């Protein structure tokens, strides 16, 4: 998926193969199998182009990561404990990113009410300028 996201356009097995071969030896059939598996799982769509296919990501890297986190969390027998353990693994910067994300999802009306004094800053502007 990393290679498909890298180009941000439909790619062929040959293009992915050539890119991967810069780093290591890998067979054409291996790349073809992986892309086919990703297609079967719904992570990429493909369109025939001559005798080959062009593969394109169905979702963004962020959406993919979110789906993985949701899947892992939903498999827990104690989701609250899983979240506490996950938050405990986070760095201070990651916890601040989480706070910013929660404020964005809640929207301006909820985040202002939750902020002492009511005049919270716009969380989107806090992350854009890297300001923490």
What are 85-108's pLDDT values in tens digits?
Answer: 999 999 999 999 999 999 999 987
Tens of pLDDT along 63-76? 989 988 899 988 99
- Sign of torsion, CA 96 99 101 107? negative
Q: What is the value of pTM for the model shown?
A: 0.59
Percent of the chain with pLDDT over 90: 70
């Amino acid at each position: 998926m990393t290679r498909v996201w890298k180009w941000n356009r439909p790619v062929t097995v040959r293009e992915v193969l050539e890119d991967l071969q810069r780093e290591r030896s890998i067979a054409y059939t291996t790349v073809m199998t992986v892309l086919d598996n990703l297609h079967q799982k719904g992570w990429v769509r493909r369109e025939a182009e001559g005798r080959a296919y062009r593969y394109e990501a169905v979702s963004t890297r962020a959406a993919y990561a979110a789906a993985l986190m949701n899947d892992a969390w939903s498999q827990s027998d104690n989701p609250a404990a899983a979240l506490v353990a996950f938050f405990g693994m986070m760095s201070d910067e990651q916890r601040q990113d989480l706070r910013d994300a929660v404020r964005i999802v809640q929207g301006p009306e909820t985040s202002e009410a939750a902020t002492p004094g009511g005049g919270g800053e716009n969380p989107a502007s806090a992350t854009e300028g890297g300001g923490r």
